[in-house]
Structure 1
């Protein structure tokens, strides 16, 4: 078992870094057509083949509750960013598909946001980025 005081200090540093970086990156969305949560949904959906994902897969990727994801998806459907239908392989589930408008809105922001992420993360070397990725994945797998 690691030193408790060191573990708490590391956790606090990780938490504060994530919070500060996320706050800075939220500015990338100030004058865009998508919120950060909508961007996150479209990021998940557009990574799947045919830009279609199961709603439960979208929910698993989000940092908000399942009912909140469902309401968000319904609002995105109403705005024409997504289409939603019943999952033919799971009668209780739904599929969501990124529309052309949703994909276009996502790509416009993704280009700017991706550049912004690269600039912010350039404080770290490639080796440090690989190490950070390995460490955060290790933390995520232990929960």
Structure 2
């Protein structure tokens, strides 16, 4: 059985670390090139083949509701950062593709943001980073139902 106090202490430590780090590295988006939500959309899109992703995959990677993602994607398309077209394999779905302007903006911000993340995480060894990745992945996995 899990130690209740230890579980709560560990959760609070994780939550506070995430909050402090997030607050610190959010400054990477103060330039106005891309908002953090736009960066998150482009992160998924840029990782896809041909800088393209299904809208449902973008939504799955975001921490906001599906309607909010749809509105964000529409605003980004209006700004020329991405294009949106019907998914030929799913009549109800859409594909989102980074434009040259969107890819360029993403790469500019990603360079700065990546440096901030590396600097912040540099206090951990590679072994600790692997452990952290494994532990957070385990926490994100669905729990078995008893």
- Aligned partner of 1:95 in structure 2 is 95
Aligned residues: 143
Unaligned runs of 5+ in 1: none
In 1: Cα distance, 2:131 partner to 2:32 partner: 33
- Aligned partner of 2:125 in structure 1 is 125
Contact 1:87 1:93 in 2 (8 A): yes
TM-score normalised to structure 2 length: 0.95
Unaligned runs of 5+ in 2: none
Task: List per-residue Cα deviations over 1:58-113 (Å, max 9, x = no partner).
Answer: 00000111011000000000000000011111111111000000000000011111
- Aligned partner of 1:7 in structure 2 is 7
Matched residue SS, 2:63: coil
TM-score normalised to structure 1 length: 0.97
In 2: Cα distance, 1:77 partner to 1:28 partner: 22
- Aligned partner of 1:110 in structure 2 is 110
- Aligned partner of 1:63 in structure 2 is 63
In 2: Cα distance, 1:100 partner to 1:132 partner: 35
In 1: Cα distance, 2:142 partner to 2:122 partner: 28
In 1: Cα distance, 2:51 partner to 2:113 partner: 20
Offset, 1:5:
1.2
Structure 1 residue ranges (4+ consecutive) displaced by more than 4 angstroms after TM superposition? none
In 2: Cα distance, 1:142 partner to 1:124 partner: 27
- Aligned partner of 1:139 in structure 2 is 139
